[in-house]
Amino acid sequence: MSVPTAAPTVAFTTPPNYAARLAHLLALKGFNPISSPTLIVQPTPSTISALKPYLSPPPSLDLFSAIAFPSRTAITSLSAAAADISHPLLSPHGDAFIIAALGKDAELMDDNFVHKLCSNTNRVRILVPPTATPSGLVEALGDGRNRRVLCPVPVVVGLVEPPVVPDFLRDLEAKRWVPVRVNAYETRWAGPGCAKQVVERIEEGALDAMVFTSTAEVEGLLKSFKEFGLDWEIAKKRCPKMLVAAHGPITAAGAHMLGVRVDLVSSQFDSFQGVVDALHTEISRLS
């Protein structure tokens, strides 16, 4: 009788508000998921306050032609800031207003969200780029013709800001948009002990894969490693068979800049399903 093969153990550093979705997809593929968030991503009282002036009467959003949401949390943060505002955020008449988001994030821009923006829903155009990256979003928006676009982005606390947001704003400017940055939520390091579970598995040589879904997660992990007297080179020596998977090319490039070699990158990165499928294919091939 054959001995059942243990489920491959996969650790991931995704923030708590995204972790359940990724853990579920990993479990469906037969993995043993280990959630070890290295970031906390959430709106705070100060970021909600920063958003409020753009939502106040007379509809301040009428000064803009679009909102570009680079993340799911950007959408939830704007919704939180607008929760106690009774009036629609846009006047019913005017030029078409674009709301743009990436991949499955656009699911949050449902009928309730659109009605909150404008009583005349025909005025609102939802844009989801075919390529789920900030640069793909810029390309889908096209020529800005010197119009203003509101950009709810994170303020990074305790880590170096990755180049993603500055590059996004520069790309918008290059397309003749006038981007207005608002720090709509925080991306904060989860603290010295955030890598504890990962370190324990590495010390046991019992980690089959790591999944990163953003560059800041990688930096957060490495920063926590130092608290345990560990660095990436030592980690790889102690757990040499560990695969590293990145959710999209931007995360892979950021990891490389931080000295972490990525073994595989999902080609479909509009949702976490892409990186889970890529990891499953590779682990099955190596088994």
For 266-286, the pLDDT digits (tens) are 888 889 999 999 999 999 999
* CATH topology identical between 9-38+190-286 and 42-188: yes
Token readout for 200 is: 């324990």
Domain ranges of the chain: 9-38+190-286, 42-188
- pLDDT score for 59: 79
Look at residue 1 and tell me whether its pLDDT is greater than 80: no
- pLDDT score for 6: 82
- pLDDT score for 58: 79
| Three-state secondary structure call for residue 85 | coil
Residue with tokens 């959408």: 75
Residue 3 binned pLDDT confidence (cut-offs 50, 70, 90) = very low
In tens, the pLDDT along 16-55 reads 999 999 999 999 999 999 999 999 999 999 999 999 999 9
Closest CA to 254 of 159, 160, 163: 163
Longest CA span, the chain: 74
d(CA 60, CA 62): 5
Question: What is the CATH architecture assignment of 42-188?
Answer: 3-Layer(aba) Sandwich (3.40)
Residue 5 binned pLDDT confidence (cut-offs 50, 70, 90) = low
**CATH number for the domain whose boundaries are 9-38+190-286:** 3.40.50.10090
CA 114 to chain centre: 22
- pLDDT score for 186: 97
- pLDDT score for 65: 98
